[in-house]
Structure 1
Amino acid sequence: MPSHAIDITIDQSENEFTVTMKIVGKLTHSDYELLNPMMDNALAGIDKPDVKVLVDLLEFTGYELHALWDDFKFGLKYNKVFTKIALVGNKRWEETAVTIGNWFTHAKMHYFESTEDAFSWLRE
């Protein structure tokens, strides 16, 4: 497995989107330079988008400092269009981060240890 990779998929059905991200290794500023235009292009011209997000953190090891700031700005930028965010992980701090994240986001956030359970919740 590579030491760093990010796989992003955006599926659309009218104004409903499902964004799936698998992060391997550290999240970098370059990852956000890729992700931001992808989201902007996908949502362009869509009235009232409904975006559900699944983030696979099973092989995630952390953030570069600049990427941590990018993540904060990304969350602020898309806060109103994200309706559900499912994080799939295997570390206690990730579950705690979801609990804290729920205080600051419009979206419902939930932590899962299984990708299948996360997708089921997103479809509810």
Structure 2
Amino acid sequence: MLQIINLEEENLIAAKISGKLTEQDMRKLHPLIHNIIEKGHKVDFYFEMEDFVGYTLKGFWEDLKIDSAHLGDYGKMAFVGNKKWQEWAAKATDFFTGSEVKFFEKTNKENALEWIKRPHQKSI
């Protein structure tokens, strides 16, 4: 399940994730991504994972389609969780995208919020 939360940042999509993500969950994100892109921003993500166990097959496929269409549109991604595999998934995301991706333990949630809200670093 994907529950959108409002962190009042124009270029940020924030959500709490639990259970398995479905195709419908992923389709909730797509218009939000487009709204940010249309304003000329990179899309940042903040995901709090609570009892998150993965995707349904259709959910995973929908996520792949969205990501492949928008990889160049993504900025920073903060993953907050408490499982080792979630940390590895964040590292894999960092490896396969041009985004700046960080994993934070649940006990460091405030650090994750501070980091995701900081302006992007311009590369020289």
Tell me, yes or no, whether TM beats 0.5: yes
Query: Which 4+ residue blocks in structure 1 deviate beyond 4 angstroms?
Result: none
Structure 1 residue aligned with 2:4? 8
Assess, with a 3 A threshold, how the Cα gap between structure 1 residues 90 and 12 changes in structure 2: closer, same or farther. Answer: closer
| 2:95 aligned partner | 103
1:118 and 2:112 aligned: yes
Q: Does 1:63 align with 2:59?
A: no
Tell me whether 1:28 sits opposite 2:22 in the alignment. yes
Q: What's the counterpart of residue 121 of structure 2?
A: none
SS at match of 2:38: coil
CA distance 1:95–1:107, shift in 2 (3 Å): same
Q: Greater helix percent: which structure?
A: 2
* Matched residue count: 115
**Alignment TM-score, normalising by the size of structure 2:** 0.81
Query: Which secondary structure state, in structure 2, belongs to the residue aligned with residue 106 of structure 1?
Result: coil
Once the two structures are superposed, the pairs formed by residues 40-55 of structure 1 within 5 Å of their partners are 40=34, 42-43=35-36, 45-47=38-40, 49-55=41-47
User: Comparing both structures, which one devotes a greater share of its residues to strand?
Assistant: 1
Q: CA RMSD in A?
A: 1.8
| 2:68 is aligned with 1:72 | no
Cα offset for 1:100?
1.5
CA displacement at 1:33 relative to structure 2: 2.2
Deviations 1:28-75 (A, max 9, x none): 0111222212322x236323x122210111221221011111122222
> Please, which runs of 5 or more residues in structure 2 have no aligned partner?
119-124
Separation of aligned partners in 2, 1:100 and 1:7: 23
Between the aligned residues of both structures, percent identity stands at 30
